[in-house]
Copies of this chain bind each other. A is one copy, B any other.
């Protein structure tokens, strides 16, 4: 049977690129399918044949966002000081989020009413999250921080980083960038401090951390 014209990957790339620029310039409200198609030099139907609709296009942008975040975290060099590496990961997390803030909001906020990504997005997130988890594990293995469930510590750090970044992106933090910078650093430092040489408060009341689960 005839297979017809193949998926135009180049056009797809142009579309999500145009969508990204439009998202950055006009915000989520200005991200209209017509405008995206127009900016890419095609018609709205391309969005539907290539992505299945606006939601599919958003999912692609969502995955692109996690690719960027994952690349930013992966770019943090691994030294023999895992605690310092963890701090750098935290800083890289914020930098990546601020650099493409609209994609970050698309990933962790709900800027578009009907949009919620499927399991594919979750997989992309896990991949981006991996360096964080690995670094915490290295911290524990090297004895830099006390014996605890790495996933819990990583989640603690993630929660703090995401919370501060989300507050910053929504304008809740001081206007001065340097002040926000120092604020973020000190919170990160303090949270790191609370794990060095401290016993796990949950030790004993929690099943043993499953290394492979």
Chain A residues close to B by CB (< 8 Å): 27-29, 105, 108-114, 125, 152, 155-156, 158-164, 166-167, 170, 172-173, 182-183, 186-187, 189-191, 193-195, 198, 201-202, 206
Contact of B190 with A201 in the complex, beta carbons under 8 Å: yes
Contact of B159 with A167 in the complex, beta carbons under 8 Å: yes
Most chain B CB atoms below 10 A, which of A27, A28, A109, A159: A159
Chain B residues with CB under 8 Å of A186's CB are 152, 156, 201-202
Contact of B194 with A191 in the complex, beta carbons under 8 Å: yes
A112 to B170, CA, bound (A): 14
Contact of B194 with A173 in the complex, beta carbons under 8 Å: no
Q: From residue A127, how far is it (CB to closest CB) to chain B in Å?
A: 14
Chain B residues with CB under 8 Å of A193's CB are 194, 198, 201
Q: Given the interface contacts A198-B193, A201-B186, does A159 sit within 8 Å of B158 by beta carbon?
A: no
Partner of A159, one of B108, B182, B187, B194: B187
Contact of B191 with A191 in the complex, beta carbons under 8 Å: yes
When C-beta atoms are compared, the residue in chain B nearest to A206 turns out to be: B182
A183 to B170, CA, bound (A): 25
Contact of A110 with B105 in the complex, beta carbons under 8 Å: yes
Q: From residue A143, how far is it (CB to closest CB) to chain B in Å?
A: 18
A sample of 18 cross-chain residue pairs with beta-carbon separation below 8 angstroms, ordered by A number, consists of A29-B113, A108-B166, A152-B183, A152-B187, A155-B167, A155-B173, A156-B191, A158-B167, A159-B163, A159-B167, A161-B163, A162-B163, A163-B166, A186-B201, A190-B194, A190-B201, A191-B194, A193-B201
